[in-house]
Copies of this chain bind each other. A is one copy, B any other.
Amino acid sequence: MGEPARGTQAVDRAMRLVATVVRADEPMAFADLFAECGLAKSTTSRLLTALERTELLERDDNGCYVAGPLFWLYAARHDPWDELVRLARPTMEQVGADTRETVNLAVTRGDRVVQVGQVDTQYMLGTRDWTQVEVPAHCSALGKVLYAYRCLPVPRGPLERLTPRSVTDGAALDRQLRQVLRRGWAITVDELEVGLCGVAVPVRGWGGDVIAALGVSGPTPRLEDRIEDIGRLLNDRAGQLTALLDRRTRKEGVA
Residues of A within 8 A of B (CB): 3, 5-8, 10-12, 14-16, 18-19, 22-23, 25, 46-47, 49-51, 53-56, 67, 69-80, 82-83, 109-112, 248-249
Contacts and interface: CB of A to CB of B under 8 A. Distances in A.
A3 B50 CA distance: 11
Given A8-B47, A111-B110, A15 B54 contact: yes
A5 B70 contact: no
A12 B109 CA distance: 39
Which of A3, A49, A71, A79 has the most B CB atoms < 10 Å from its CB?
A: A71
A248 B110 CA distance: 28
6 contacts: A5-B53, A8-B46, A11-B50, A15-B51, A16-B54, A69-B248
Contacts of A22: 70, 73-74
B69 A80 contact: no
Count identical subunits in the complex: 2
A212 B215 CA distance: 35
B72 A83 contact: yes
Contact of A11 (B11, B67, B80, B82): B11
Contacts of A67: 74
Contact of A19 (B54, B72, B80, B83): B54
A215 B212 CA distance: 35
Nearest to A8: B50
Nearest to A55: B19
A51 to B, nearest CB: 7
Contacts of A7: 46
A48 B111 CA distance: 41
